[in-house]
């Protein structure tokens, strides 16, 4: 009979272990979902920051292109005036 009671105790312990593992898996799954939701928020914030930086960079690029075009026109006029003053034009 001690063999049967040991078997019953072993079965009981195995069921308790399975139940505990099931609860652990459920809690881990919940934590993973929570972490994913938090990470998603971080990715959204990072994406928004990067989009803002990209917009600012594009605005600076347009300003630099405009300044370059104005400088080129001014140089062209200056070259024309110098040539005219030297009698080359």
pLDDT at 6: 75
Tokens of residue 69, six digits:
């075009």
Residue of higher predicted confidence among 89 and 88? 88
pTM of the model: 0.47
Query: What does the pLDDT look like over 45-58, one tens digit per residue?
Result: 888 999 999 999 99
| Three-class secondary structure of residue 59 per DSSP | helix
* Average pLDDT of the chain, as a whole number: 88
Residue of higher predicted confidence among 54 and 39? 54
Alpha-carbon distance 14 to 64, whole Å?
73
CA distances to 69, 71, 73, 79, 88 from 83, rounded to whole Å, are 21, 18, 15, 6, 5
pLDDT at 33: 85
């Amino acid at each position: 009979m001690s063999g049967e009671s040991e078997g019953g105790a072993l079965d009981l312990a195995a069921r308790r272990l399975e139940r505990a593992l099931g609860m652990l898996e459920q809690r881990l799954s919940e934590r993973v979902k929570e972490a994913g939701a938090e990470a998603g928020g971080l990715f959204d914030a990072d994406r928004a920051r990067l989009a803002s930086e990209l917009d600012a960079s594009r605005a600076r690029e347009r300003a630099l292109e405009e300044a370059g075009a104005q400088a080129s026109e001014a140089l062209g006029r200056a070259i024309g005036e110098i040539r005219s003053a030297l009698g080359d034009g």
